Structures are given as C-alpha cells and as structure tokens.
Amino acid sequence: MAETPKTQTPGMMMSGSDILVECLIRQGVDHVFAYPGGASMPLHQSLTRVEGKIRTILPRHEQGGGFMAHGYARTTGKAGVCMATSGPGATNFVTCLADAKMDSVPMICITGQVGTPVIGTDAFQETPIVEVCRAITKHHYLIQRTEDITRVMKEAFHIATTGRPGPVIIDVPKDVQNNRIVPDWDPPMNLPGYKLARAPKRSDLERIIAEIRNAKKPVIYGGGGIIHSGASASLKEFAERAGIPVALTLHGLGGFPSDHYLCLQMLGMHGTVYSNYAVNDADLLLAFGVRFDDRVTGKLAEFAKHGRIVHIDIDPSELNKNKHAHIAIHGDLKAALDGLNGLLKEEKNADLIGGGRYPDWMRQIDAWRETEPLSFQKRDDAILPQYAIQRLWQILKDRKQLDETIITTGVGQHQMWAAQYFKLNQPRHWVTSGGLGTMGFGLPAALGAQAAHPSKLVVDIDGDGSFLMNIQELACAFTEKLPAKVLLLNNQHLGMVVQWEDRFYEGNRGHTYLGAGHEEEEYPNFVQLAKGFKVGAQKVTAKKDLDEALEEMIDSKGAYVLDVMTPYQEHVLPMIPSGMTVRDIIKA
C-alpha cells in the first residue's frame, strides 16, 4: 500500500504509541475500531491527537469492533483496523481473526500487552495472544522493541493486503508504547519467506484455451477470489466472450451480475437447483478464486466428477488440497483473466468467441431454470422471510437505489435467503460470514461498512438469534451516528438448527426455541430494546403493512430496526444435505 506523506519532522523524539499511530496515518488508515483498556491506553491517547486524520469508533464490545473492521475491509478492499487491550480484550478478537482468516479479509488487529518485564508471569490481564492466535492469522507479531514498530507496521499492512488477504495481529507491550525514540520511517522489510504470485505464464493460459475448445458443457465456478483480486469486470468480459455460464459461491455473489443471462446464481448446499445440475454435468469446470469448500462440494468424490477441472488461485496451498485439478495455476485471478481475454482476442481463437458455441448446453440450462426456479409458498396470513427480502430488493430496485445499497447478514436461514433473493450486480456490496459462519456478525459489519460509505444505504438482514449476540452495537450506531438499518426476520427460533431438527432429528427440539415459553408472545421486545438505545424501530406482523414499513426503514435518517415477525416452520430450499450429492437434493 502506498504511504501518505510524512506528518512528522525528521529527528523528532516520539513515544512508541505516537509512532504506531503515525504509521497508521502513513498507511492511509482513516478509521480505527478501538475499545480501550489498561494495556492500550497510550495508544488511545495518541489517537486523540490525530482526530482530524483518523476517526476512532468506539464499539461496545471488542468482537463488535473486530467485525466492524471486517465490514470496512470487505466493502473498501483496504485493511480494516481494530484495537483492544490485553487479556480479555485481546481474546475477544479471537473469533474475528478466525473469521477473517477463513474468508480472506485483510485486517490489522492491534492489541495492548503487559510490559515486557512481566510477560510470562501471569500478570494482571496477561494473555499470550500471539500464541492463542497463531493458527488463525496470516501472520503475527509481538513487538519487544520500540525501534521495531515502523518495520512491523510496514510489513503487517503488506502481508494483510497482498497475495491472499488475511488478518495480522500485532501485540504491543505497554512499555514499548511508552518508550521514546527517534523513529526510522523507512526501514527495510524482512520477509524472506513471503513470495507473491506472479502473473500466469502464457503457456498455462493456452492450455486453458485448449480445454475450452474441447469442451461442450463448460461452467465457471467463481468464488471470493473474484472480489479480492478486483476481477469482476475481467470475469464478465471472459464469460461473455467465451459464452460460458457462471455459478457463484456465497462469497462470489456480486462478482458477476446476477441479472446477466449467463449467471446461474449461487451453487452449493443452498444454491439453485440449476447451478448444481450444471456443475454436476459439466465436462469442464473453470474454478476461479475458490477453495472447493464442503458447503459447495458436498461429497468430494462425486463433485464435478464428469469433467476436467481448471483451478486458478492466489494461494498455492489451495491447489489440489480438496479436489484434484487437471490444470492448477498459482496466480492472481485478474491477471489470469486479463491474459485469457487477450488470447481470446487473437485471430487464431476467433472460433471460441460468442454465445452460440454451446447451444445444446445452454438449452439444457434454460430448461432447468424454467422447471427448477427458486420459489417459496405464497401466503397472505403471514410474512414469509423470503418474501420480506424479495420486497426489500424490489423496492430498492424500483427506487433505483440498488447500486447504492450494501447488504450485510448475520448467520442462519436469513443469510441463505438473502443470498438467494437479494440479487447483487456489483462487487463489495455483500458482506457475510462464510467459512466460520459467525452469528452476531451482521450488525457490527454493517456499522463498519456504513463508516466507510457514509452516503450509502447499509442494511443488515438478520435473524433474532444472530442479532441478539451483538445487539449492544446499537449504542455504537447511535452515538457514532452510523445510520445502518436492520431488517430483523424474527421467528423466535434458531431457524437453521430447527430446519436440521425437522429434517434429520424427527423434529425433536434441542434448545432451539428463543422465546419465553409462550410461542405466541414475542421475546425479547426488540422495538423496546432498540428505542432504549435511542434507535428508531417498529414491529410488523401483517403482510399488508410490510411495504410501508420497509419504506420507512429505508428513509429513516438514523439507525433503524424493523422487527418483522415470521413463521419458524419455513425451511431454506433447495438443500443438499452435508456430505451428500446433487442426487440427494431436497426441493420441498
């Protein structure tokens, strides 16, 4: 990342905390999500001295701050920065770091630590956080000398934002923050083992062109790497030039326009029937920026077994990890797609251009789309969650606000319905917890996205179980004037677990009811809770009142919670049970 101009004069003695904050400024950081404590107080004192350059947002829980950093990073492409004190403050970041590692989110997590003389003595609020987080971070630092701060910060941002993005934790003892030195602002980085991928070789790309020429039923399987590499436009050009349909993972949504004829929407466990059928029957699977995770593949041995596989990924450890690829290329996806597009423009490959190359294949896909569309029951006596999401999308589309709307979600049924029924045409407008599946993610992620994009509409589509896990961040929304909205699909149950109970445990309820003992009564009262935080709110129970309530939520000036009561009996369909195959898909 390019550094901003220096704001300190050469030769000036500075404290370690001032040096670290100055490093943030030089890395272009404009927001820090930070909760103070004893071991991080010097850092917060330094942040107060740069308020015109860095906005420090105070969450109400460190996990909230970590997920705000996620929302900021996922919608900007820049590293999100969060900060906490030692001990319990630092351990409250563990879930955030694991989530960022799984979903390739660039994040700089700064934790205060007890002074170096007492490290290892079980001092008050001491936790060996680097050791705790070693396996769930891309890299990690315990700074033991103030002189190392500038080098560590330079390396940390480089590591977090290049190659496969990921989280870096920096643990800073209190005496290192307080010591005063004359800093070296341009230290050399010392990363001998960190090698970045080069652009793929032309010979490798020509092998892919040969595979396309031989294919009769090709499919593109696109994942989060499309977003991370900035390859959305390149993918669209490639798919249109070659006439190849595109199926997307949960994190690939928005990487290819969902309203495009070639888009097969989401594949996998809760993907469309036609995308799963297409991948199952494909004779060539072009896997771009994906990791063949189990929620997509189901039974690995049966996944895409009828065709050849081309896998392009920035992370060499993902190649041939879960699924053997006939052509495995380590490289940047955008560079690879740009290279493929260049080859398709050459006269010798003119026979590959155009949408008419695979007429029989596209007719088959169209037949699947016609006979197996996404659908849900039409009811007038209740607001179905799918309907609520679909109406939000339609209203925003009619108002021409879709391009200025960012959607975040919690984790559960509502997350899958949002992926199915809120159609996305742009990258970085969709923020969800995929690999780790962390409940409580939606609201703080929305606040981070809102901080990064103050003029956009940010809506957290959430469930009552997930929302309640970080509901305290409504206080942050109000005090920091972050007008994110919450579309709360409230079924009084842990809906996804209920669905599995219904399907696989004969409906036996294993502590999945969240109410107070009477299913006809709402508990807790989310409207009262929201208003207690001085956040606007209303409850909707009748379908006829939904559109007006959605309009009010969208137009509200501040943060807002729309509590929509929905039946708990609804299931997310289609569904391929875990470890099963497309032949086992549940449609009703």
**Two tokens at 447?**
């606040």
**Two tokens at 385?**
């969650």
Q: Is 62 a catalytic residue?
A: yes
Per annotation, catalytic residue among 174, 217, 423, 539? 174
Q: Is 174 a catalytic residue?
A: yes
CB distance 45 to 468 below 8 Å: no
Q: Count H helices, E strands: the chain?
A: 23, 20
Instruction: Burial-class residue 455 by CB neighbours within 10 Å (0-12, 13-18, 19+).
Output: exposed
CB distance 513 to 501 below 8 Å: no
Q: How many CA atoms lie within 13 A of 302 on its CB side?
A: 15
Q: Which residue has the tokens 């990073």?
A: 73
3-state secondary structure of 308: strand
Distance (Å, whole) CA 236 – CA 232: 6
Buried b / exposed e across 96-135, counting CB within 10 Å, b at 16+? bbbbbbbbbbbbbbbbbbbebeebeeeeebbbebbebbee
Beta strands at 180-181 and 14-15: parallel, antiparallel or unpaired: antiparallel
> Dihedral of the CA atoms 344, 349, 355, 360 (nearest 10)?
-140
Buried b / exposed e across 7-46, counting CB within 10 Å, b at 16+? eeeeeeebbbbbbbbbbbbbbebebbbbbbbebbbbbbeb
Q: Is 496 a catalytic residue?
A: yes
The CA angle 587-359-354, to the nearest 5 degrees, is 115
Q: How many CA atoms lie within 13 A of 490 on its CB side?
A: 24
Per annotation, catalytic residue among 45, 125, 394, 426? 125
Per annotation, catalytic residue among 22, 62, 126, 318? 62
Q: How many residues does the chain have?
A: 588
Q: In Å, how far from its chain's centre is CA 312?
A: 20
Per annotation, catalytic residue among 6, 124, 481, 551? 124
Using N-to-C axis directions, what is the helix angle for 385-398 and 546-555, rounded to 10°? 50
Per annotation, catalytic residue among 496, 533, 538, 539? 496
Cis peptide before 188 (omega within 30 of 0): no
Point out the residues that are catalytic: 62, 124-125, 174, 496
